[in-house]
């Protein structure tokens, strides 16, 4: 399902760049180390990802007010617009597929999603 949703989002960013952008949007502003921790990648990889996102105009870097040697990354206006567009495409795909299901199948999926969400909360 995750692969299919990535496909439905349309062409553009790689899955790793899209995930990093969404993480910055959800948790930012972030340091490169913060992004690395959340994405479970190495710090040098996070730095390369950030530079690619900066190059695309999707995130902005600013000096960390607590540490002048470091910087923070936040989502730009273009980044927010892209995230909205990707989520909208994914949502439209899911909505169409869910509408085609029988009511009892939708109820089963709703219950399964509740269980999965609880499992993820308990993991933290």
Mean pLDDT of the chain: 92
* Structural domain count, the chain: 1
User: Is residue 109's pLDDT more than 80?
Assistant: yes
Q: Report the C-alpha gap between 49 and 66 in whole angstroms.
A: 23
| Arithmetic mean of pLDDT, 82-96 | 92
Look up residue 119 and give its DSSP letter: H
Residue 124 pLDDT: 61
Residue 1 pLDDT: 83
Structural domain harbouring 112: 2-123
CATH number of the structural domain spanning residue 104: 1.10.10.10
Task: Record the pTM.
Answer: 0.80
48-57: list long-range contacts, CB under 8 Å, 24+ apart.
49/16, 49/17, 49/20, 50/20, 52/17, 53/17, 53/20, 53/21, 53/24, 53/79, 56/13, 56/17
């Amino acid at each position: 399902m995750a692969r299919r949703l990535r496909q439905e989002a349309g062409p553009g960013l790689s899955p790793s760049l899209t995930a990093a952008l969404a993480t910055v949007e959800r948790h930012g502003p972030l340091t490169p180390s913060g992004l690395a921790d959340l994405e479970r990648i190495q710090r040098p990889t996070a730095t390369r990802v950030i530079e690619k996102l900066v190059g695309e105009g999707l995130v902005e870097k600013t000096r960390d007010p607590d540490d002048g040697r470091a910087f923070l990354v936040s989502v730009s206006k273009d980044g927010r617009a892209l995230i909205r567009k990707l989520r909208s495409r994914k949502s439209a795909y899911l909505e169409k597929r869910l509408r085609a299901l029988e009511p009892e199948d939708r109820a089963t999926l709703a219950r399964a999603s509740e269980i999965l969400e609880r499992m993820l909360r308990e993991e933290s």
